[in-house]
Amino acid sequence: MAELDLADGTIWYETTGVTDGDPLVFIHGGWMTGDAWGPQVERFAEDYRVVTLDVRGHGRTGATDADAYSIELFTDDLEALFAALEIERPILCGLSLGSMVAQEYVDRHPDGARAAILGGAVRSMPPVEVPGGMKSLWSPLPALSATLSVSGSAGTFRSMLYSIRATTGERWLSVDPETRAAAIDDVGEIPAREFRKIFDALYRYEPPALTGLEIPTLVVHGDREAPLVKRQGKQIVSAVADGDRLVLSDSGHLVNQDRPRAFNSAAADFLPAA
């Protein structure tokens, strides 16, 4: 375990595995922590130099002095971490928010990664195209702030889950009660101000097109994933030059935790080809 000092805070990270192995970097989802990748770290540390981190605002990294967060800022942090650890052309594995960071990174550095695995892959939030001007007009941020002041981070997150379930009819986050409860516990540790900054980063992100990107890309969704999120995963695969998509049964948005062995198997099969 270690910390990277930045001008406005520190980033917590951990490296395990083979010191001189190919770097495999895991980027967690929104309001989660790097611990969400536990089954993957255990599996791939045998063959890779594995790096996990807690994105700013999350977990052991916690609050930073930045007034606002963005996917671009999270990607800046990732670049700083790679520079500090002398990592070149990593394999990126991101979930949800982490998949956005991975997309932003490969768009900035089309030759800067060996491969990308995007679990619960999403391009934007909400997962539909909204004209920029309308997005600011329709912003849920004022209502979110009011809910946070009353219900806190965990209560607000539960309300979001209820809304998604009412739309999809599925337990979208995870099919496993323990995984879902652990995720909500993680959210509950995040101060309301940080929760809002993270939500703002997700909501305001304008995704790159990724058209013709030659980095091998694997998109993995659970079969209980929200249909609009699945559609965005298909868009990613259609856009890149070397993309593939896999849907795992009996799993939700946290597909790497709902089906860890299947996720690991799919990643292991993909990586030698990448």
The average confidence (pLDDT) of the chain is 94
**pLDDT, position 134:** 57
Total-model pTM: 0.95
What radius of gyration, in Å, describes the C-alpha atoms of the chain? Answer: 17
**pLDDT, position 127:** 80
**pLDDT, position 70:** 98
Handedness of CA 224, 228, 231, 236 (dihedral sign): negative
Task: Using pLDDT thresholds of 50, 70 and 90, give the confidence band for residue 171.
Answer: confident
**pLDDT, position 225:** 95
Distance of alpha carbon 102 from alpha carbon 93, whole angstroms: 7
With pLDDT > 90 as the criterion, what percentage of the chain qualifies? Answer: 86
Residue 246: pLDDT above 60? yes
- pLDDT, greater one: 125 or 273: 125
CA 61 to chain centre: 16
**pLDDT, position 247:** 99
With pLDDT > 70 as the criterion, what percentage of the chain qualifies? Answer: 95
Distance of alpha carbon 38 from alpha carbon 23, whole angstroms: 16
Q: Which CATH architecture has domain 2-273?
A: 3-Layer(aba) Sandwich (3.40)
- Asked whether 239 and 210 are in contact (CB, 8 A), the reply is yes
135: exposed, middle or buried (C-beta count within 10 Å: 0-12, 13-18, 19+)? middle
Span 154-173, mean pLDDT?
A: 86
Q: Using one digit for the tens of pLDDT, what is the confidence trace for 23-77? A: 999 999 999 999 999 999 999 999 999 999 999 999 999 999 999 999 999 999 9
CA 57 to chain centre: 13
Q: Which of 117, 96, 108, 120 minimizes the C-alpha distance to 242?
A: 117
